[in-house]
Each structure stands twice: as C-alpha cells, then as structure tokens.
Amino acid sequence: MPTHTLIALSGALSEDSQMPAVSVKLPIHINFKNVVRLNSRGIKLWCQWIGQFKAPARLHFEECPAIVVKSFNLVKGCIPDTAQVDSFFVPLYSSPTGERKDVLVVRGRDFDGKDVRVPEQKDSKGNPMEVDVHETYWSFLRK
C-alpha cells in the first residue's frame, strides 16, 4: 500500500513551471532538492498551487535549498498551515576561504520545533565554518 505521494521538483521554480494535479488522499511529500532557482513569478505560481491544499491535506516539504527557505520566509502563504518542513539546507560560510557549504538538517535528528543543531563543517583548509544566515532564516520554524 502506498504511504504517501512524492512530488520531486526540479529546475527553476518560475513562470514556466508546471505544477501537477495531485490527490490529497495520501500525505504529499514535496522534495525541493533539485530546485536550482526561483523567482517572484514562480513564488506566485507556488502560492496559487499550494493554496489549494486545505485541511485535512497533509504536506511535507523535504530538502528545501537555502534560496527556497529565504524566499518562502519573505512571502505569506508559501508554507501553509497544512505543511511541515521535514528537512532543509543551512548554508555555512568560511571567511578565510570564502567557501560555502549547504548542510541538510532533518526534523527529529537535527531540529525539533525551534531549536536547530547544525552539524559542524570545515572548509577545504580545515577551518571551521560558520552558519551563514540571518535570524529571519529560521522564522518558518516559528509558524
């Protein structure tokens, strides 16, 4: 028996995106790992599409890249009440080398509610990397 419906998004979330028609009988897992870019027209399309999933629909967002988290935080309705973020990427930065690394944090393992534990990372020279987000990055966790 299938346990959920998986939607894997890829490419740019933009005005050209095609969003699928989905039954809400099973929980819907939306994976963002391969979303490489998004823009304001894509956000509008997203809000129109995601807004159709009212309770009792259950949505799970997985592997949200930093640009998705940043943009969703800035726009009302991107993460509806019926949705839960199960995993997302946190960017880390090394001042000495300028390198960036995006680390996946997973609900239950790395965060629960508001507290997020980001696994330590080192840059290519062995320097510790710092979490590179403004405090507003976590605001979706407070919803």
Partner 1 sequence: MKSVFEEYGHLWPQDVVAKVEPLLSRVMVLQFPRDKDQINKVKPQNVVVVTDKNLYDGNIQLFEVGFEHCVQSTRDDFANELLASSLMALRPESFMKDPIPFFFNGFQTSEMATASGRHFKVNFSSSGESSTILQELEKFLTKNNEMASLKDICVQAADEMISNAVFNAPMRPGGTRPNVRLPRNQDVFIPDSKYATLFSCFSENRVIIGCADPFGSLEKRPFLNHLRSVFAEVSASVRMTGESAGLGLKFLIENAANVYVLVNPGKQTLIACGFLLEGLKANAGASKHLHFSFR
Binding positions for partner 1, rule: CB under 8 A: 12, 14-16, 37-41, 43-44, 47-48, 65-67, 70-71, 73-77, 91, 93, 95, 97-100, 131-137, 139
What is the dihedral angle through the alpha carbons of 84, 50, 72, 16, rounded to the nearest 10 degrees?
140
Nearer to partner 1, 25 or 134 (CB): 134
Long-range CB contacts for residues 133-136, cutoff 8 Å, separation at least 24: 133/66, 133/90, 133/91, 136/73
Q: Cα 100 to the chain's mean position, in Å? A: 18
Nearer to partner 1, 109 or 136 (CB): 136
In the complex, least distance from residue 28 CB atom to partner 1, rounded to whole angstroms: 21
In the complex, least distance from residue 91 CB atom to partner 1, rounded to whole angstroms: 6
